[in-house]
Amino acid sequence: MTLSDPKTLSRLSKNGIPKKEFEDSLGMESELTLELLKAQGMNIALHNDVYLFESTVTSVDDTLFCIVDVESNGSKPSRDQIIEIGAVKLQNGRILDTYESLVYCNSISDQIQEITGIKVEQTLKAPVMGKVMREFRLFLGDAVFVGHDAKFDYNFVSGMMERVGLQKLLNRSLCTIDLAERTIESERYGLKYLNEQLELYKDATHHRALSDAMTTTKLLKRTLTLIPHTIHNTEELIAFSKEAKRLKRPKVKKEEKKIKVEE
C-alpha cells in the first residue's frame, strides 16, 4: 500500500484504513512518517482505531479552505515559475486571513506582462522563491486547497515547493470550476465571465493573484449555498464536484450569438 495509490486515497476519504494496517504500511518509523505527511498538508486523523482524512468527519462549514491563485511566467512548473501568489483563508463563511506576494523573477514575456500587469521591474525587487514558498507553506498548513482550475495552481505551488527543497503538497483539493459546473447554469465558466455574470467581486482586477483568489472565494461561497442538502462533510463535497452530473449550459439564441460575434 502506497499513499499515492488511488485506492489508498479512496479508502482514506471514505471508510478509512484500520490503525494496524495503516501503521504497518508506513514501516518502523510510522509516527515520524505521519508527522511528515501532516507537514505536507495531508490531514490524516485517527478515529475509533481507523485512519482517515479529517475532511471525512469535518462539516463543510467547519472546514478550513485556502483559496489560492498564482500568476506564472509560463504554463509548465518544470520549466517556468510563479511570479505572484495570492490566497484567502475561509471558514464558516468568514474570511480569516489573506496572503499575497510577488516572487523574484528576471524573465517575463511581453504577453504575460500585458495580461497580468506585472512588470519585470517589480519582480526584480520581490522576495526570492524560497522565502515565499516557506511563508506560504506555513500559511496553507493542512487546509483544503481551492482554486479555479485547481490542478494548475496546485501543480505550480507543489512544483515550486520541491524546487526550493520542500516536500510536494499533499493537501486535499477542490476545484471551483468543477463545483460551479454542477451548481450554476452558465454559458461559460471562466472566472472573469462568472464574476461579471454573478457580480461576485466588484473590485476585481483580473489576472492579479489576490484579486482572483478573492473572486474565487466569493464564487466558492455562492456555490456552497447551492449544493445538495445531502452533502455534510468535505469529502462528500469533493466527490460531488468530480462525480455529480454537470448542469446543462443554457442555449444561446442565434440573435444573441450574432450580436456577440459582431461585438
Q: What is the pLDDT of residues 69-96, one digit of tens each?
A: 999 999 999 999 999 999 999 999 999 9
What's the rounded mean pLDDT across residues 205-232? 97
pLDDT at site 255: 55
Compute φ and ψ for 40, nearest 5 degrees: -90, 0
CATH of 6-56, one of 3.30.530, 1.10.10, 1.10.700, 1.10.3470: 1.10.10
Q: Binning pLDDT at 50, 70 and 90, where does residue 27 land?
A: confident
| 138 pLDDT more than 50 | yes
Cα diameter, the chain: 69
pTM across the whole model: 0.93
| 127 pLDDT more than 80 | yes
Domain with CATH 1.10.10 in the chain: 6-56
Q: How high is the mean pLDDT of the chain?
A: 94
What's the rounded mean pLDDT across residues 219-240? 97
Q: Binning pLDDT at 50, 70 and 90, where does residue 29 land?
A: confident
| 34 pLDDT more than 70 | yes
| 205 pLDDT more than 80 | yes
Contact 153, 70 (CB under 8 A): yes
| 258 pLDDT more than 60 | no
pLDDT at site 256: 52
For residue 15, give every residue at least 6 positions away whose Cβ sits within 8 Å of its Cβ, in sequence order, or none. 50, 52
Domain with CATH 3.30.420.10 in the chain: 65-243
pLDDT at site 162: 98
pLDDT at site 1: 64
pLDDT at site 260: 45
Q: Binning pLDDT at 50, 70 and 90, where does residue 263 land?
A: very low
Percent of the chain with pLDDT over 70: 95
At the top level of CATH, the class of 65-243 is alpha beta
| Closest listed residue to residue 164, CA positions, set 144, 137, 141 | 137
Q: Alpha-carbon distance 54 to 77, whole Å?
A: 29
What's the rounded mean pLDDT across residues 159-174? 97
In the chain, count H helices and then E strands.
12, 8
